[in-house]
Amino acid sequence: MTEKTMTHDTQTPIQRSLKVGRAVIGLLGLDVAMGRALADRESPREELLERLYQQIARQNYIPPGQEELYRQALTREYDRLLSGDQRRDDTLQIRILGPGCVSCNRLGEMVLEVMAEMGIAADILQIQDPDEIGRYGLTRTPALVINDQVLCAGQLPPRFKLEQWLRRAADPQQVP
């Protein structure tokens, strides 16, 4: 699954998580708040970014002393979306989708083992919420999503295939 092309509609889902510092944080209302900010081209930039931060702060807990990190992350994301850039950054994004069953846990273990062997770093998130899994258009788990692309669903991939996907995702210039 890829991110939707921005139409700057306030109801268009953009994303629900944001990299803040070294962590990927799930934020309530991020998609709607970012859509509104992108649609509002009339306001001065600093005022618009402050409104964006306040909207997020009203709906989410921001730890004391972390306000500036959240502001910076929101600003980076706003600028990225405004420019039309589809990738968040060069960090490999891995999502393991499933209810936490034995197969889902095994997939997570396989991913970690292969990454360790290959010396690959990535942001890994296990998604267990059925609504969030449904947003990927999936009805079967476990599922593996790398850089917003669903690579398998409903079964454990063979180890060689997982290695191939991770190698390709870590080095996009590599020929398949």
Q: So what's the pLDDT on residue 137?
A: 86
Give domain 93-170's CATH number out of 3.40.50.1980, 1.10.1040.10, 2.60.120.200, 3.40.30.10.
Answer: 3.40.30.10
Predicted confidence (pLDDT) per residue in 67-95, tens digit: 999 999 999 989 888 887 655 556 788 99
Residue type, 162: L
Cβ pair 15, 28 in contact under 8 A: no
Instruction: Read off the pLDDT band of 41 (50, 70, 90).
Output: confident
Question: Is the sign of the CA dihedral 86, 7, 79, 134 positive or negative?
Answer: negative
Which residues are paired to 153 by β-bridges? 143
Q: So what's the pLDDT on residue 129?
A: 83
Tell me the average pLDDT across 55-61: 91
**CB neighbour class for 27 (10 Å; exposed up to 12, middle 13-18, buried from 19):** buried
Residue type, 21: G
Tell me the average pLDDT across 99-108: 91
Q: So what's the pLDDT on residue 173?
A: 57
Q: Where are the domains of the chain?
A: 17-83, 93-170
**Two tokens, residue 125:** 């998130």
Residue 145 CA from chain centroid, whole number:
10
Phi-psi category of residue 162: left, alpha or beta, with phi > 0 → left and psi -120 to 50 → alpha: alpha
Instruction: Read off the pLDDT band of 45 (50, 70, 90).
Output: very high
DSSP-derived 3-state class of residue 124: strand
